[in-house]
Amino acid sequence: MFSFRLETTDPSGARAGRLVTRHGEVATPIFMPVGTAATVKTVTPRDLKEAGTQILLANTYHLTLRPGHERVRRLGGLHRFMGWEGPILTDSGGYQVFSLAKRRKLDADGVTFRSHIDGAEVRLTPESAVAIQEALGSDILMCLDECPPAGASPSAARAALELTAAWATRCRDAHGDRPGALFGIVQGGTDLELRAESAAALVALDLPGYAVGGVSVGEPPEEIARVAGATCALLPADRPRYLMGVGRPEDLVEGVARGVDMFDCVLPTRNGRNGMLFTRTGHLVIRNAEYGDDDRPVDGECGCYVCRNFSRAYLRHLFKAREITGLHLNTVHNLYYYLALMRTMRDAIVRGRFARFREGFYAARGEVPPPLS
């Protein structure tokens, strides 16, 4: 069971829609917190719900290594295993082809990893990546792909997109009409001609959704926005568009401005654990001495549990004292900020006021909006 309904397109081109999955509906545009190993670090499913989370992301490669996808299947599937009732999207392991390049060998049939946990050999093929995601019970499955690094040569970028297209066909054939929606991933680096070629090959497969991959691996923000916008223009308007691994709050705004519907990134959780907190006026680093006597909340206009109950001074104390509670509270705030930002953007799109919202977003930060290109 899966469908996507495009509800509104703002004059700017930003979109509001709705995903329907076996485990509930998702109003887009949406940000997906990253729960790589069946948990979003430091927070519980209850915290995630209270922050406004609608859908999570988990990772095929990591869950295959530990605790093992067959164990998760025996224990009732990923939703029951981690106590999350809402939709779950699983990455295929394709990002690890990039991030664990020193620990893998790539060939036309698949990729062989040397486990970062115990050194054991782990083999992923398009067919096994699909089978693992099906065992986990994913609502949205991703095709296995090759994600080349930023600055890859034209020949390497072409080889990656050709392998990605061939693997997408195999993933589609392996998945068939079983539960869960299979998304293809557009590659091609920053070369728009290669992007167009990759998009055409994937659109021909008539998949339920499409992702823009390979744009959060070292490219500057303006390149991410340029490639995302050009790629989205090549994808069917009636299918969801997912910009993988992005990003900063301004990256989300610029992605939505270019027609993106879905995002994920470890930034709000990882940065929270490292003491960086996001606010409407920019970010602050809570460990800094200037907050030692600061009785204000992180953001006076934020409605999260943290801002309603704790001061900057207290959060700084927790961080400096290395108290686990501080990591938890920082993460709760950052996730709430990200998800509230998405809700605000959706509301602006529905009202036909996204351009005004975008100007206000940058004005609050004392910045000028970058050009839309």
Q: Which two tokens stand for residue 197?
A: 């070629």
The residues, ordered by sequence, that sit 6+ positions from 119 with a Cβ below 8 Å of its Cβ are none
What angle, rounded to 10 degrees, do the helices at 354-364 and 324-350 form? 140
**H or E element at residue 210:** strand 209-212
Residue-by-residue DSSP string for 298-311: S-TT--SHHHHH--
Is 177 one of the annotated active-site residues of the chain?
Answer: no
Is 91 one of the annotated active-site residues of the chain?
Answer: yes
The residues, ordered by sequence, that sit 6+ positions from 372 with a Cβ below 8 Å of its Cβ are 12, 229, 257, 258
**Would you call 36 exposed, middle or buried from its count of C-beta atoms within 10 A (0-12, 13-18, 19+)?**
middle
Q: Count CA atoms closer than 13 A to 159's CA, side-chain side.
A: 10
Catalytic residue (one of 91, 139, 251, 261): 91
Q: Using alpha carbons only, how large is the chain's radius of gyration in Å? A: 20
The residues, ordered by sequence, that sit 6+ positions from 233 with a Cβ below 8 Å of its Cβ are 259
Catalytic residue (one of 139, 251, 264, 299): 264
The residues, ordered by sequence, that sit 6+ positions from 368 with a Cβ below 8 Å of its Cβ are 362
Active site residues: 91, 264
